[in-house]
Amino acid sequence: MQFNSFAYLIFFPAVTVIYYTLPHGVRWLWLLAASCLFCMTAAPWFILPLMAVIIVEYGLGLLIERGGRNGSGSQKIFLIIGILFPLSLLVLFKYASFFHDAAVRAAVAFGLRYPAEVITFIIPLGISYYSFQSISYVIEVHRGAIRAERHFGMFALYLLFFPKIIAGPIERPSLIRQFHERHDCDYRLVTDGMRTMAGGFFKKLVIADRVAIVVNEVFGHPDYYHGIYFLLATVLFAVQIYCDFSGYTDIAIGSARVLGFRLMDNFRRPYGAASLLEFWRRWHISLTTWLRDYLYIPLGGNRNGKARWYRNIFITFLLSGLWHGANWTFIAWGAVHGLLLLLGMGTRNIRLKFISLNGLDRAPRLLRLLRIISTGALVCFAWIFFRADSLPAAIAVIRKIIAGTGDVLTSLLVFDMAHLKAVTDIARKNTILGFSRETYRPEMLIAAFSIVSLWIFHLIQKRKDVWEALSRRAACVRWGLYVLIMVAILFFGMFTQDQFIYFRF
């Protein structure tokens, strides 16, 4: 069941109403049943690996805690099993065919025979997310940061809770405590949650799915478009993936909040970041912090000299890329981010000198703006690898962008309008970019207007909490605005039920 489906529109209010009418003692059972149903609507068997993880990790949590009390030393073995079990499922379902393909290619390259066959599985819903959540649970129990959960149902809910099962946020074990707490129907919480959900639907249905038409058209027909359109499509993909994923997260957070739960933030205006490091503090926060706490720091972080520090950063980004999918493009995406970050760290002093020589340090606002733009450009560059179907395709896109932008700039510099027309001509006239169809013009206008609106909203939100300020206004003003947002979604949303991008991961 997708958040942007009609089924969810029925499912969620029904779950909420019944949840609040039930006594506190049995609410967890209702949430668990609803979450199982939510998970099984895609394919009933998706629940099986999840149940296996729940049972194994629940038992291991208790054993690790008991081992720690006895001082028997067995807790380390249980911890390793607790980490390896969900990871092995993840590898089996998500990466087996990828590693197999890589092995076949390597064997062919070295002239070896590689006869083994591999079965390709359908990736179970949310496996990347609940595997990481279960790992963080056993590690935290082992560290003694939390107590092992006794209540099997509450622990199951920690991994199964429907708003975040499919694409996160990757919650920490502290969420379990919230399932024990009593949640009464709070007007403020419910409206807050619904507003967050509405914002998410707006991002997904009005912006992401609309700009996706352009992105898919250009990336899907590379032979028909000049480089300048790939530049446009790459920038729009940056918008699409942000609105798609943060839209999903908003709906997840909002749904949980309506039910009285608080999920962690996943995005903090990432395209307003002035450096790549800052970008990663604002983008997919739940994954970044997870990797920091359970991979980067255990690897040694920045404690063992520069070389090891750089290595740890690179490994973390490489694995972050691999987490996104079993494809070289994702690994390259992670590697590009890692390399760019290392490059940034290595050239920091030179850049500071350059800034001081130019006097840019005396104009901090301009400097920040330039930094935001350059960070955005680097992030967009990396998105090419993320979006492309293969590494050669990504490289072809980069080549096209360089050549195309060069062509356009040269034409502009020498005022060669005929050449400019030639290098911006669109062969596929009957498409959204061809603009010849009456249907497409309004779509592009709505997309542009919505992106600008979102951007202005983010700018205001940076200075003051718009929703907080709004909550002090009269009810008719508040609800009037909510209705306006809902009407905008109703009339300008793309109800094509396009899958959220991060569902695939």
Partner 1 sequence: MKKLVGYITLSIISMILTLCALWIVPGTYPHDLAAMVNKKKMLVSKKPPRIIFIGGSSQLTLDTPLVGKELHYAAVNMSLWGGLGTREHLEEIKPYLKPGDVVVITMEYPAAIDKKYVEYIHTNKESKKFFFLMSPRRHMAEYLANRQYCELFKIVHELAQLKAKSYIRNLVLLNFFHLCDTGFPNYSTEFNTNGDRATPYVVVRPLGDSNTIFNYPEWKNHAFINDFTDYAAARNVKVVFYFSHFPRAYYKLNERYIDAYYDLMKKKLKCIVLNKPSDFVYPEDYFAETVYHLNQKGEKIRSAQLSTMLKKIL
Q: Which stretch binds partner 1 (CB under 8 A): 127-135, 185-193, 243-251, 322-330?
A: 185-193
Residues 492, 449: contact at Cβ < 8 Å? no
Rounded distance between C-alpha atoms, residue 203 and residue 455, angstroms? 11
Residue in 142, 284, 324, 337 annotated catalytic? 324
What distance lies between CA 45 and its chain's CA centroid?
Answer: 25
Q: How far apart are CA 126 and CA 129, in angstroms?
A: 5
DSSP-derived secondary structure letter, 270: G
Binding to partner 1 by CB under 8 A, coded x per residue (else -) over 452-481, reads -----------------------x---x--
- Can you tell me which of 483, 497, 499, 504 binds partner 1, judged by CB under 8 A? 483
Which residue from 200, 312, 301, 326 is spatially nearest to 256, judged by alpha carbons? Answer: 200
Give yes or no for a contact between 35 and 11, defined as CB atoms under 8 angstroms apart: no
Closest approach of partner 1 to the CB of residue 449, in Å? 8
Shortest Å distance, C-beta 487 to partner 1: 5
CA dist 294 → 62, 165, 281, 289, 317 (Å)? 20, 20, 16, 8, 13
Q: Which residue has the tokens 């066959």?
A: 117
* 8 A C-beta contact, residue 58 and residue 150: no
CB closer to partner 1 out of 102 and 487: 487
Nearer to partner 1, 406 or 442 (CB): 442
Phi-psi region of 501 (alpha: psi -120 to 50; beta: other; left: phi over 0): alpha
CB of 97 to partner 1, least distance (A): 32
Alpha-carbon span 456 to 472, nearest angstrom: 21
Residue 486 interacts with partner 1 (CB under 8 A): yes or no: yes
Does 7 contact partner 1 by CB under 8 A? no
CB-nearer residue toward partner 1: 141 or 206: 206
Total site size for partner 1, rule CB under 8 A = 25
Residues 155 and 163: their CA atoms lie apart, in Å, by 16
**Which range binds partner 1 by CB under 8 A, 166-174, 245-253, 454-462, 484-492?**
484-492
Which residue among 117, 181, 223, 438 contacts partner 1 (CB under 8 A)?
438
- Three-state DSSP class for residue 345: helix
Name the one range near partner 1 by CB under 8 A: 85-93, 407-415, 459-467, 489-497: 489-497
Q: Which range in 236-244, 267-275, 338-346, 487-495 contacts partner 1 by CB under 8 A?
A: 487-495
| By CB under 8 A, residue 450 contacts partner 1 | no
431: contact with partner 1 by CB under 8 A: no
Q: Could you say whether residue 490 binds partner 1 (CB under 8 A)?
A: yes
**Residue 445 binds to partner 1 (criterion: CB under 8 A):** yes
State how far the Cα of 235 lies from the Cα of 373, in Å rounded to an integer. Answer: 12
Is 419 annotated as catalytic? no
Pure H helices in 110-173 = 127-143, 152-160, 162-165
Binding site for partner 1 (CB under 8 A): 6, 185, 187, 190-191, 437-439, 441-443, 445-446, 449, 475, 479, 482-483, 486-487, 490-493, 495
Catalytic residues: 324
